[in-house]
């Protein structure tokens, strides 16, 4: 029985990839090479330092650890200047309604994100209160596809991994959910995420009942919600 849902943040709840792109591209420009939208795809779900490694590999450049830390810090300062201005309107379509329906039904909700900026983003889009547990880049050691972030989420919620559904837009995130022995729902296209238990384009028009049917997994409703 499904008792909890764990949500990735970037690309599932909000579209922050565009801000990451602007900030990484500015760094690449400063270093004298081009960073494309296609390159940016490789950074989805990847931690900040790993993203920098990929970026430097694209540029064919090498730096010392202190230099890399300074670059990541600079990129983050620019990124934060964008996300600081985020508003609730930037929450992806249908997400808030879906979260509310889960809450009304007594299904527990956790965030499982690699981002160290997750608390600030949730605050800006005014969704912090929807989550019973928040596991982010500040509280994990291992990056996805390691299941740590989701296993911690389940532990904080007090549920077994097999009673959780993970919503993810990144390949590494779906892999992490599978390693954690959780149900996985890919947010995006079938071509990329087809190995997940279910793939949906987004939450717009999605109800908990529809999810339950398509996932072929029963939910344990502890409150009489509208589901
Ligand atoms: C998410 C995003 C990645 C990002 C990572 C770290 O997983 O999909 O693109 O690099 O979080 O984010 P942060 O805000 O800590 O730099
Ligand atoms: Mg993501």
Q: What is the pLDDT of residues 111-150, one digit of tens each?
A: 999 999 999 999 999 999 999 999 999 999 999 999 999 9
Minimal-distance CA residue to ligand 1 atom 13: 115
Cα 1 versus chain centre, distance = 23
Helices (H), 42-147: 48-59, 65-83, 95-104, 118-124
Among protein residues, the one whose CA lies closest to atom 6 of ligand 1:
115
Q: Which ligand is nearest to the CA of 115?
A: 1
Query: In terms of Cα–Cα distance, which of 22, 71, 32, 31 is closest to 48?
Result: 71
Exposure of 179 in the CB half-sphere (CA atoms within 13 A): 16
Q: Which of 187, 129, 145 is CA-nearest to residue 7? A: 187
The rounded distance, in Å, linking the Cα atoms of 166 and 173 is 9
Our answer to whether residue 136 is catalytic in this structure is no
The answer to whether the beta carbons of residues 100 and 206 sit under 8 Å apart is no
pLDDT of residue 227: 43
For ligand 1, whether the C-beta of 149 sits within 6 Å is no
Q: Considering the entire predicted model, what is its pTM?
A: 0.95
- Determine which residue's CA is closest to atom 16 belonging to ligand 1: 48
pLDDT > 50? residue 1: yes
Average pLDDT, the chain: 95
Active-site option among 10, 39, 169, 197: 10
Q: Six-digit token pair at 225?
A: 């919600």
**Beta-sheet pairing, 164-168 with 4-7:** parallel
In angstroms, what is the span from residue 7 Cα to ligand 1's centroid? 14
- Reference 34, options 59, 69, 66; nearest CA is 59
Give 222's pLDDT tier (boundaries 50, 70, 90): confident
Question: Does residue 8 have an active-site annotation?
Answer: yes
Ligand nearest to the CA of 174: 2
Q: List all residues 6 or more positions away from 70 whose beta carbon is below 8 Å from its beta carbon.
A: none
Is residue 44 lining ligand 1, measured as CB closer than 6 Å?
yes
Sole residue written with tokens 């983003």 = 121
Could you tell me which of 55, 67, 57, 62 has the C-alpha nearest to residue 28?
55
15: number of Cβ within 10 Å: 13
CA 148 to chain centre: 14
Atom of ligand 1 nearest to the CA of 144: 7
Q: How confident is the model at residue 225 (pLDDT cuts 50, 70, 90)?
A: low
Highest mean pLDDT among 42-46, 65-69, 216-220: 65-69
User: What's the token pair of residue 190?
Assistant: 């079938």
């Amino acid at each position: 029985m499904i008792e909890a849902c764990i949500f990735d943040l970037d690309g599932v709840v909000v579209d922050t990839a565009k801000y990451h792109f602007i900030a990484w591209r500015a760094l690449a420009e400063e270093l004298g090479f081009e960073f494309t939208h296609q390159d940016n795809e490789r950074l989805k779900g990847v931690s900040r330092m790993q993203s920098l490694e990929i970026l430097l590999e694209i540029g064919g450049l090498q730096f010392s650890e202190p230099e890399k830390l300074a670059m990541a810090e600079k990129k983050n300062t620019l990124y934060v200047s964008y996300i600081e201005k985020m508003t609730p309107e930037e929450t992806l379509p249908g997400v808030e309604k879906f979260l509310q329906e889960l809450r009304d039904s007594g299904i527990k909700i956790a965030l499982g994100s690699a981002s160290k900026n997750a608390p600030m983003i949730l605050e800006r889009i005014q969704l912090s209160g929807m989550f019973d547990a928040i596991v982010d880049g500040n509280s994990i050691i291992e990056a996805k596809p390691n299941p740590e972030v989701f296993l911690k989420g389940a532990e904080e919620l007090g549920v077994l991994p097999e009673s959780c559904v993970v919503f993810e837009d990144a390949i590494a995130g779906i892999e992490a959910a599978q390693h954690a022995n959780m149900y996985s729902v890919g947010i995006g296209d079938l071509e990329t995420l087809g190995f997940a238990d279910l793939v949906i384009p987004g939450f717009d028009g999605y109800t908990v009942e529809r999810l339950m049917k398509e996932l072929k997994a029963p939910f344990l409703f502890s409150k009489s919600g509208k589901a």
